[in-house]
Amino acid sequence: YDLDFFGPHSLFHNLNRAGTFAGKKKLAENLLFLNTSNEIKARQRAIEELAKKTEWRQHFLAIARLSKDSKESCEQLIAWAEKKETKVSKFLMVLAFVLPALMALSFILSLVLNNGYLSGIASDLFLINVFILFTQFKKIKAEVGKAERIDEIVKQYSKIIKHIENENFESEKLSDLKKDLVQDEIPASKHIKKLSDLFSGLGNIQNGIGAVLLNGLYLFHLHNLNSLYNWKIKHAQKIKNWMNVFAEFEALNSLANFSYNNPAFVFPQLNDKHAIEIKNCGHPLIAADKRVCNDCEFTNNRFIILTGSNMSGKSTFLRTLGINMILTGTGSVVCATEANIHPLNVLVSMRLADSLTESESYFFAEVKRLKEIMDRLSQQVCFVILDEILRGTNSDDKRSGTIEVVKKIIEKGAIGAIATHDLEVCKTTDEYPTILSNKCFEVEIINDELVFDYKLRNGICQNKSATFLMKKMGII
């Protein structure tokens, strides 16, 4: 929320090229959870490979979008796969083979021998078969209820998986994912297609006359139900894994599309020295002709105190840092011409609101968020972004509180930036000259107009825009 990850015009909205619910969920998870450096490198190679497979990517997306699945249908499929079923009894299955065979034999002999007694036996066996069907009707009906919602979805999943199986991949990440789509030397797409056929076969029990004929002659639905249970015993535990594989492909496909559409972006080099250096770092969601890029580094001085007037670009710059750090963690390209980054979890306090339902003030919500950040920093080094914190209190309290927060987070080893309008906070750099640095965005007044260049400068902001703007608008 703070970094515009989700919602209209968000990072997720811009990246998303997943067609299934599972794929969208996986992409969201990629944005929210940091990968290890080795995994990031593997993902970079996978994304780079997929970016070159334009036709394959587009076809993959088209197939996935036809699935028309949902959160509910995915959960239902997984719940079905995880629920243990009792098999059809062996006695019934023996009858399912013996009775139709006896009926067929009786019927043929009655024709050959012109024997009415044998014909009557065949008729009786037909009725017995129908009776056996009705003893299992409740079980079959329960599966049919699921079949109507699952059949079409798994049929499309089979096509999605088959598209992956038919392609050759060179990167280790994609090759390993593809290997997971094989069980008992048979492609997962065939297993899934078989499941779709079994559900479809159960579904036609609702055709009354056809069901009576099929089951009277062969106990078709009993055989089908038994096959479904057998399929479930052998393969159900793999469904979640297969879904995870094509969902991961969809997430990587989305990031590959992002890379393809932004050829000027780069894959960051990774380091393990808690160093971050980015050349021409920009916000990836701002159009290239309007985007203003800045160099930024967190090496010698690992935490920035950022000042600037309203509308000067402070918040956009903070989001730029956060989004590019998140993209790094997914294995994606970043909006820069060069980047060397230690991947870190990103902790943010930018947009907070009162909670009427929980009787929670803005100030208390922010304090809770800061507590969460401090707790995380006690466990690991993180990249921290703070924007004008403690706005819900008086100026003196806000100043002293902000200074203490800055001291505490650098004591815990945090890397990152804090934006503030309070120039007194900037003096904290005098106490920690090797850790803290002052950066700013300036505004100029040219021809009686405010002019923002959005360029990051060293030092503390000197110009003021609020008084000028209020005078210009006739407020004061």
Instruction: Choose among 88, 190, 203, 78: nearest CA to 147.
Output: 203
Q: What is the mean pLDDT of residues 188-212?
A: 78
Is the residue at 115 inside a domain? Answer: no
- Has residue 426 been placed in a domain? yes
pLDDT of residue 147: 58
CATH of the domain at 314: 3.40.50.300
Coil/strand/helix, residue 359: coil
Assign 121 a pLDDT band (cuts: 50, 70, 90): confident
pTM recorded for the entire structure = 0.86
221 and 366 in a common domain:
no
Q: Decide which of 245, 261, 277 is a domain's last residue.
A: 261
What tokens appear for 363 in the block? 């100030």
pLDDT of amino acid 292: 96
* pLDDT value at 285 more than 90: yes
Q: Which domain holds residue 435?
A: 264-472
Report how far residue 78's alpha carbon sits from residue 87's, in angstroms, rounded to the nearest whole number: 19
Domain-located, residue 116: no
Check: CB of residue 428 under 8 Å from CB of residue 305.
Answer: yes
Identify whether residues 71 and 180 lie together within a single domain.
yes
According to the model, what pLDDT value does residue 126 have?
76
Which whole-number Å values give the CA distances from 177 to 183, 192, 242, 379, in the listed order?
13, 17, 9, 32
More confident residue, 125 or 427: 427
Residue 430: is its pLDDT beyond 80? yes
Banded model confidence at residue 208, pLDDT cuts 50, 70, 90: low
Q: Give yes or no: residues 468 and 359 share one domain.
A: yes
pLDDT tens digit sequence for 372-408: 999 999 999 999 999 989 877 788 889 999 999 999 9
Quick one: what percent of the chain has pLDDT higher than 70?
Answer: 91
275 in the same domain as 400: yes
- Give the chain's domain count: 2
Residues counted in the chain: 476
- The last residue of one of the domains, among 226, 246, 261, is 261
In a domain, 131, yes or no: no
Section 275-295 average pLDDT: 96
Average pLDDT, integer, range 449-453? 83
Whether residue 59 sits in one domain with residue 80 = yes
Is a pLDDT exceeding 80 seen at residue 220? no
Residues 321, 246, single domain; the answer is no
Please tell me the least confidently modeled range out of 1-10, 111-120, 242-251, 290-299.
111-120
How large is the average pLDDT for residues 132-153?
A: 71
Name the one residue in this structure whose structure tokens are 């820069």: 336
Mean pLDDT value of segment 137-145: 69
User: Are 419 and 386 within 8 A, CB to CB?
Assistant: yes
User: Do residues 345 and 248 share a domain?
Assistant: no
Q: Looking at the structure, tell me whether residues 363 and 344 fall in a common domain.
A: yes
Confidence band (pLDDT; 50, 70, 90) for 358? very low
Q: For residue 211, is pLDDT > 90? A: no
Asked if 165 and 200 sit in the same domain, the reply is: yes
What pLDDT band is residue 360 in, cutting at 50, 70 and 90? low
Domain's final residue, options 261, 293, 320: 261
Q: Which tokens is 216 given?
A: 């009277």
On whether the CB atoms of residues 279 and 339 are closer than 8 A, the answer is yes
Q: What is the pLDDT of residue 359?
A: 39
Q: Are 385 and 322 in contact (CB under 8 A)?
A: yes
- Taking the CB of residue 361, how many other CB atoms lie within 10 A of it? 13
Residue 446 within any structural domain of the chain: yes
CA dihedral over 453, 456, 458, 461, signed as positive or negative: positive
Q: What is the mean pLDDT of the chain?
A: 87
pLDDT for 280 beyond 90: yes
27 falls within a domain: no
413: in domain:
yes
Q: What is the pLDDT of residues 231-274, one digit of tens each?
A: 988 998 999 999 999 999 999 999 999 999 999 999 999 999 99
User: Which residues of 309-448 form beta strands (DSSP E)?
Assistant: 338-341, 346-349, 383-387, 415-419, 436-446
Q: Judge whether 168 lies within some domain.
A: yes
**Whole-number Å distance between alpha carbons of 433 and 254:** 42
Residues 6 or more apart in contact with residue 265 via CB below 8 angstroms? 258, 259, 284, 333, 334, 335, 336
CA distance 450 to 122: 96
The reply to whether 72 and 171 lie within a common domain is yes
At 55, phi and psi to the nearest 5? -65, -45
Least confident of 109-113, 433-437, 456-460: 109-113
Distances (CA, A) of 65 to 157, 191, 199: 11, 21, 22
Closest to 161 measured CA to CA, from 128, 127, 188 = 188
Query: Is residue 351 over pLDDT 70?
Result: no
272 and 255, same structural domain?
A: no
Judge whether residue 229 has pLDDT over 80. Answer: yes
Based on the domain organization, do 284 and 409 belong to the same domain?
yes
DSSP state of 334: B
